[in-house]
Structure 1
Amino acid sequence: MAINLREFFKATDPSRTLFINNGSDSKYYIDFSSVRGGDIIQTLKKKITFFQPDEPTCTLFTGHIGCGKSTELIRLQAELESLGFYVVYFESTDDLEITDVGIADVLLAIARRISQSLDKIILEDTNKFNALLQGALNLLNSEVTGLKTKVPGVGDVGFSAEKEKLSLSVGIGEITTKIKSDPKLREKINQYLAPQKIQLLEAINQELLQPAITKLQQQGKTGLVVIVDNLDRIDNSPKPWGRPQQEYLFVDQGEYLTKLNCHVVYTMPLSLKFSNDYGTLTQRFHDDPKVLPMVSVQYPDGSIHQEGMALMQQMVLARAFPDLQPAARLEKITEIFDSVSTLERLCMMSGGHVRDLLRLLNTWIMEEMALPLTRNTLEKVIRSRRNEMVLPISDSEWQLLKNVKQKKKVSDDDGYQKLIRSRFVFEYRESGESWFDVNPILAEARELTSL
């Protein structure tokens, strides 16, 4: 049966997260753990389910943006739920303005998502929460002018009329929606709530988490897990006092992120691993951040990593032939590509970065508009991508890239932080050892080939 080009294009959408508990998405999923230095998700799962099921845990999970963290976290959610845990997973970018995030914003977002997810559980006593939120709502009402209606207060939307108790998810939602789109209001609320973060944590723990977990356990659940995805995407612009936002949230305020009385997994920007403050960060959290590295498609000496290459090819072929077994897919390569070597070239140029591979492939399909896809068009797509990547690179950064290409190492230097953030440099793991290399598309730039 002929491949539907439009369906193949949709299946390779790089912005799409795989929800592997969904039947159709599960057919696209490839387990890369054997070529990523181990199964990080199993490590996270064992910590929660075996080693510390009855006490709160806090884990940082990191890796390059687009390397597959969300898909793996959704796999973690599915596996934890199968073991009786109640899991609240959410993408923090839906609640937070990533260019300006405060600790109060994060705690409010978590509280909102938990209360929203557990809306059928009646909370008996939310007096501390009511007081904090009412103060925030009053502040917003005093600041908002020119609106036809005020932000709700007790007795209005956000509060149930019965005993004037707060519907937490709606009440918090009123605040988070307003402050996400208005930086001045966001600053006011953070100035109000940040000094009260201990009280906010107490309210979340005592009036939300503790009663919710008790009722979940009465319903036969093992415990509560919160997965906060996309916090790795927060911008690193400086706060008004000069502190980079990522260091402010995860280092300066990291202690508060660990204080929630349930199991929590946060995604963290990978560049923080190369920050001068990384040592302090690891003291704030009980465990070192868990890293999801690139899929190894080659070894440090440049030779092809056959297993990694084979799995990346399967990722591509599964998008075209989801119902075929892996061996049968290999027989169909020339229905999609003009040669096997063309598919290998695509996988090699991705550097083992899942989303970058899909981005190249998706663009290639759009350019070619026909099957089989040809090597000439792939090279055109690669050159175009390289031209975009080299534009912002300074002379000093080229030198850093040359160092990485030669030594396969990076250091805790601000320059390297930017290279990691920009996905100019990738991290790989092999037998417990990590090594680094330049993004293969960039590695073929004139500035690096003239070494």
Structure 2
Amino acid sequence: MPKATNLIEAYNNFVVEPLKTEEEFKDFYVERPKNAPSPIEELKDRIENADSAKKYLFLGFRGCGKSTELNRLSRMIDRNRFLIVSYSIRELDVSDFDFRDFFGSMALKIYDIAEKEIKLEANIKDDFLDFMMHVTKVSEEDVTKYRGMGISFSNFILLKLGREAKTREYIRKELETKISDLIQKLNWLTMEVETKTEKRIVVIVDDLDKLTRVKQAEDFFYKNYGLLIQPKCFVIYTFPIPLTFNPYYENVRPAFDDDIILPQLPVKSKDGKRLNEENINFYKGIVEKRMDLDLIEENALEEAIVSTGKTSEFISIMRDAAIKAYRGEKGGITKEEVGKALEKLRRTYDRTLTEAHKKRLLEIYDKKEARDDNIDDSTSRDLLFSLTAVEYEDEEGRWCDINPLLMPLVEKWKKA
């Protein structure tokens, strides 16, 4: 995709989606600053040199670039030694998501790669198919019908899991007492594939950080972590950073082989008095890769950078400002369009905040840390989960602040 030379091309280049293809990486990928490099290269080395299948937590805020980095990992791992199973839980229903849905989908994904890579032993194949058809209440006639339409068994069941509440109800009821059976069958498939291909399976599970509620995410990880480490293949689980603020995290973390963080890049120092030029240049690089810098005034670009809290938010602001400038029949983006785009997003955040949220945000702003009063208080975790508060990491260590987008509201909150 060529660099944009006009506002409409810029609008189309600033899409809030992970980079996936070789062309997208070539045209748009920007190396992270040396003071906060991507941890993906190290994760690749850990996997390629591990003596057994490990489980990893990949931490980061929504929109910080985790999916793009995981797509990089998929491309970097030695395909002569590893088989990559990469998928997003958004293929299911993230608003109604359960650990049993997850293990069903994971088993289906491994079955899918087994079908593509090897000839499965009949007893293993038949046992798995019979089991999945039983727990989802799918008939042989249904499978045959959809196979005739070019839809594989795995994709057919995944479609039903994602779209049909009744299918989710069936599988959850059946797996209430049979989840260990499913994981055992998943492991048989894994062993069969790895033995016959002489390659090891790496499962990358993306978008677990996009579960829609804090409790939903906490239940998935904290109640089921003992199950999450049972698959006998490498697994990388995306993990919402806000959950690390729950004291229970320290009980769960040692069960996994490592927790790897993609830190959010602050554009100002902890005291807010100094700009972090290296991180600002990272954001400028994102713009320079996607459009001619002549299409935006320098002060407008700086305003967009210092006013946003994460990569996807910044790209969204640039996209909105580009279409606003086009509609205003301007030759480029000015501070006016950036200001309007920022205010639109700011109002979206602001209307979700209760008085208790605002009070806690002012505490985070003053203390630069986000702590709940007790284990039953989840206010800070809610704010981190909604991205109205953000954790940063730099030479001053880890610290929290309110989303830069909300800074103009601080004085108003103090007076309320």
TM-score by length of 1: 0.82
Q: Map 1:203-214; keep pairs closer than 5 Å.
A: 203-206=185-188, 208-214=189-195
Aligned equivalents of 2:80 and 2:267: distance in 1?
34
Aligned equivalents of 2:348 and 2:213: distance in 1?
22
Quote the residue 1:293 is aligned against.
263
Q: 1:387: how far off?
A: 1.8
The counterpart of 1:171, out of the listed 127, 144, 153, is 153
For residues 61-115 of structure 1, the C-alpha deviation after alignment (integer angstroms, 9 at most, x for no partner) is 1211111000000111111136742212112211x11122222211221222223
Q: Map 1:244-323; keep pairs closer than 5 Å.
A: 244-287=215-258, 289-302=259-272, 303-321=274-292
Q: Map 1:315-394; keep pairs closer than 5 Å.
A: 315-321=286-292, 333=293, 335-338=294-297, 340-351=298-309, 353-369=310-326, 370-394=330-354
SS in 2 for 1:30: coil
Which structure has more relative contact order (CA 8 Å, sep 6+)? It is 2
With over 3 angstroms needed to count, the CA separation of the structure-2 counterparts of 1:317 and 1:180, relative to structure 1, is: same
The counterpart of 1:97, out of the listed 74, 84, 93, is 93
Q: Map 1:213-224; keep pairs closer than 5 Å.
A: 213-217=194-198, 221=199, 223-224=200-201
For residues 18-52 of structure 1, the C-alpha deviation after alignment (integer angstroms, 9 at most, x for no partner) is 12x5134322111115343x4321232122112x1
The counterpart of 2:166, out of the listed 184, 198, 201, is 184
Aligned equivalents of 1:82 and 1:261: distance in 2?
19
Quote the residue 1:408 is aligned against.
368
Quote the residue 1:42 is aligned against.
41
User: Is 2:135 the partner of 1:136?
Assistant: yes
Gaps of 5+ in 1: 142-148, 161-166, 238-243, 322-332
Q: 1:360: how far off?
A: 0.6
With over 3 angstroms needed to count, the CA separation of the structure-2 counterparts of 1:235 and 1:250, relative to structure 1, is: same
With over 3 angstroms needed to count, the CA separation of the structure-2 counterparts of 1:422 and 1:35, relative to structure 1, is: farther
Are the equivalent residues in 2 in contact too, given 1:18–1:26 (CA < 8 A)? Answer: no
Which letter maps to 2:128?
Answer: F
Are the equivalent residues in 2 in contact too, given 1:40–1:290 (CA < 8 A)? Answer: yes
Quote the residue 2:18 is aligned against.
17
Q: 1:179: how far off?
A: 3.0
With over 3 angstroms needed to count, the CA separation of the structure-2 counterparts of 1:78 and 1:394, relative to structure 1, is: same
Q: 1:59: how far off?
A: 0.7
Q: 1:245: how far off?
A: 2.1
SS in 2 for 1:151: helix
Quote the residue 1:144 is aligned against.
none
With over 3 angstroms needed to count, the CA separation of the structure-2 counterparts of 1:236 and 1:408, relative to structure 1, is: same
Quote the residue 1:29 is aligned against.
29
With over 3 angstroms needed to count, the CA separation of the structure-2 counterparts of 1:104 and 1:172, relative to structure 1, is: farther
The counterpart of 2:70, out of the listed 70, 73, 76, is 73
Aligned equivalents of 2:80 and 2:117: distance in 1?
22
For residues 227-251 of structure 1, the C-alpha deviation after alignment (integer angstroms, 9 at most, x for no partner) is 11111112227xxxxxx32122111
Aligned equivalents of 2:341 and 2:164: distance in 1?
39
TM-score by length of 2: 0.89
The counterpart of 2:54, out of the listed 31, 54, 57, is 57
Are the equivalent residues in 2 in contact too, given 1:103–1:253 (CA < 8 A)? Answer: yes
Aligned equivalents of 2:4 and 2:179: distance in 1?
59
Are the equivalent residues in 1 in contact too, given 2:8–2:323 (CA < 8 A)? Answer: no
Quote the residue 1:324 is aligned against.
none
User: Is 2:102 the partner of 1:106?
Assistant: yes
Which letter maps to 2:14?
Answer: T
Are the equivalent residues in 2 in contact too, given 1:35–1:295 (CA < 8 A)? Answer: no
Are the equivalent residues in 1 in contact too, given 2:308–2:404 (CA < 8 A)? Answer: yes
Which letter maps to 2:174?
Answer: Y
Which letter maps to 1:348?
Answer: V
For residues 330-386 of structure 1, the C-alpha deviation after alignment (integer angstroms, 9 at most, x for no partner) is xxx3x1123x222111110123x1110011110111111033211122222222222
With over 3 angstroms needed to count, the CA separation of the structure-2 counterparts of 1:61 and 1:24, relative to structure 1, is: closer
Count matched residues. 401
Are the equivalent residues in 2 in contact too, given 1:350–1:357 (CA < 8 A)? Answer: yes
Aligned equivalents of 1:41 and 1:83: distance in 2?
19
Aligned equivalents of 1:250 and 1:228: distance in 2?
13
- Percent of residue pairs bearing the same amino acid type: 24
